[in-house]
Chains A and B, each alone.
Chain A
Amino acid sequence: MTSLLTNYRIWAYLVFFAILLALPLTGDDFWLNRVAKYLCFGMLGAAIALTWGYAGVLNLGQGLFFGLGAYAMAMSLKLASYTSLQQGSDQPVPDFMLWNAQPGASTDLCCITPGSWLWIPFQSQWFGVAMAIIAPVIVATLLGKLIFGQRISGVFVSIITLALVLLARLLLVDAQPVTNGFNGLTDLGYFNLFGTELDPYAVTTYYVITIALIVVLTLARLLVATRAGTVLQATRDSQTRALYLGYDVPAYQTFFFAVSAAISGLAGMLYVVVAEFASPSFLDLTFSVTMVVWAAVGGRGSILGACIGAILINVLEARASETEALVEAWKAIVGLVFVLVVIWLPQGLGGFAHDMMRRLTGRRRPEALKQEVRQ
């Protein structure tokens, strides 16, 4: 590790972290709140890069994991909200459940609406936090075992994940008495972190999310640098060769799929803390594809690149939306930029930066994703 200090990639991470940590110096709380949301999207970008760039698995249903994390947290925060505590029963009860309840039904969380008992453990916000990670991991592990165990790859994985997120969205909206259907969960309380309430507009909240992002990026980067990370990239290039070297390829794919799901769940959870709502739109196809757009523009083969891509696109979009006329035009611009990036910069901005640095330092790119597995 002698080259640690001369390694430009490590510097890229450090500079990025420093910028994030210094951002509150601007003193603009409104913008900090927005950026905090985009940092959650940044995690999503990194999660996509992990499976897409390193494993060659394009998940078009990442929104499912984000949504699971978001709803788990939102359920806890909903129960912690002022309105839920004021419904005249011993336990907090979400207001929408009262609107949905049959006349004369018990107003207890156990049986106010069919399935409302699912909410009982969420009275502990740490249960919500745990479920925000565990639920996506369980779903991803089961799904991974099924998909990868059957040696399904490429576009078929994309179509299964896409169908699954649409299915989950249907069920979520249909389960109105438990999930408040189309309306989602709004009017949430604050997350209580060891006695500090996380006001979405407070600098503390921003720092909590920034630190989470730093930890996620560092761990994800270290993860792909492990031997297992190299094996994963090997499975991307040739599943068969990896199998005949004795690697349980489905196990590797499933493991990283689950890690990506955990990151997405965490992102969803933190997003709810700053955005104060959870909605079925998290499971929209458009949202899941938009995440892929972020990662593609930032660089699918680079965890940091994909993360920055997500943040950058969202910041620019927010700026553009400040001008009424630009809102619709902005979408067209994103579409155009995206087409151009896919054609001319398949490795995104991250890959472009890599190439520039390589030219400057005369080094070779060690883990570039050159070609996609052909169907």
Chain B
Amino acid sequence: MFDILFIGLSLSSILLLVALGLAVTYGAMGIINMAHGEMVMIGAYVAVLSNIWLGANLLLAIPLAFLVTAALGYGLERLVVRRLYGRLLDTLLATWGIAILLQQAIRLEFGLTFFGIHIEGLGSGLQNVPVPQFLQGTLGLFGLQLNSYRVFIVLVTLALAGLTWFTLYRTPLGMKVRAIIRNPQMASACGIDVKATNAITFALGSGLAGVAGVLMAGFRSVSPDMGATMVVDGFMVVVTGGVGSLLGTVAAAGILGEINALVAIFFNEIAGRASVLLVVILVILLRPAGLFSFKGR
């Protein structure tokens, strides 16, 4: 039984990795960032490239990927997202366009393929990143043999969730962000630089996606379209948990991951995935505000 629960926990942690960044950009900023999955993908490519070109291992790629994707997110907010605040569905569409652009940028190696230049690690093929020695193999815990890397992912995810919570609820930046969620005009009137804060928040959400990408690169192959399906899963987690509730996101990731694992074990993989979609649909139908939202007046 515990091994099944651990599989579920492992699935949950991957869902949460993607959803964390979205909880920040969508939950807190009201931006539906369809390019979030591509941020994950870029993070994974940072791991690939730093492995090939710098010989750096996965752990070193984590801060690097955070910086790269956060910078990319910052630029995106300034160039595109900023023009779309208040047009929720338009943010979804514009960022979808950006997602395609990012995918193609990797596939076409930033356009260099047209000049016959090839950068190792980019292009449309599959890439793999080796896991550091000490994370290979298994770990004995409660009499179970658990995959060390999976345990590592669960721990890092929890740490990231804690960090995100701390940033949003215990720092001056988080205070500003939460003020903007409630009322941007009022926040602005109180002297908060709404534009700058939004840009930083978006960068933070994107940076989280980048870290998720590095961790994913350790257990699956990396390709330009790896992010496309992730963003959907991520959104489902955030919406199910309740928009604007970080705790809800964590809980929803846990529940959906476990449901997926349990159904998949007792029936099959497809039933597992289908049950997750079904739960999401039912939650939105029955509790449109999400499972863990605070009820307003």
Q: Residues of A at under 8 Å CB distance from B?
A: 58, 146-147, 150, 152, 154-156, 158-160, 162-164, 166-167, 170-171, 173-174, 285-286, 289, 292-293, 296, 325, 328-329, 331-332, 334-339, 342-343, 346, 372, 374-375
Contact = CB atoms under 8 A, between A and B. Distances in A.
Contacts of A173: 270
A24 B232 CA distance: 42
Interface of B: 30, 32, 80, 83-84, 86-90, 92-94, 96-101, 103-105, 107-108, 114, 124, 228-229, 232, 235-236, 239, 270, 273-274, 277-278, 280-281, 284-286, 288
A156 B240 CA distance: 11
Contacts of A342: 84, 90, 93-94, 97
A156 B96 contact: no
A339 B89 contact: no
A171 B286 CA distance: 23
Given A150-B285, A328-B104, A335-B101, A372 B89 contact: yes
Given A167-B281, A332-B100, A332-B101, A343 B94 contact: yes
B127 to A, nearest CB: 18
Residue among A158, A338, A342 facing the most chain B CB atoms (10 A cut-off): A342
A339 B288 contact: no
B92 A158 contact: yes
Given A154-B88, A167-B278, A372-B87, A339 B284 contact: no
A156 to B, nearest CB: 5
Nearest to B225: A286
Nearest to A336: B101
Contacts of A296: 93
A158 B284 contact: no
Given A166-B277, A174-B274, 5 more contacts: A155-B89, A156-B284, A159-B284, A329-B114, A338-B96
Nearest to A334: B100
A337 B281 CA distance: 32
A50 to B, nearest CB: 16
Contacts of A154: 88-89
A293 B89 contact: no
Contacts of B87: 346, 372
Contacts of A343: 80, 83-84, 94
Given A154-B88, A332-B101, A375-B88, A166 B281 contact: no
A167, A292, A336, most chain B CB atoms within 10 A? A167
A51 B267 CA distance: 38
A150 B100 contact: no
Contacts of B278: 167
Contacts of A152: 284-285, 288
Contacts of B105: 332
B25 to A, nearest CB: 14
Among all A-B residue pairs, the 9 with the closest Cβ atoms:
A335-B100, A338-B97, A332-B104, A339-B97, A342-B94, A335-B101, A167-B277, A335-B97, A174-B270
A142 to B, nearest CB: 12
Contacts of B32: 155
A293 B96 contact: yes
Contacts of A375: 30, 88
A292 B32 CA distance: 15
Contacts of B235: 159
Contacts of A336: 97, 101
Nearest to A171: B274
B277 A346 contact: no
Given A152-B288, A158-B92, A339 B104 contact: no
Nearest to A339: B97
Contacts of A332: 100-101, 104-105, 108
Contacts of B30: 375
A372 B90 contact: yes
B102 to A, nearest CB: 8
A312 B190 CA distance: 49
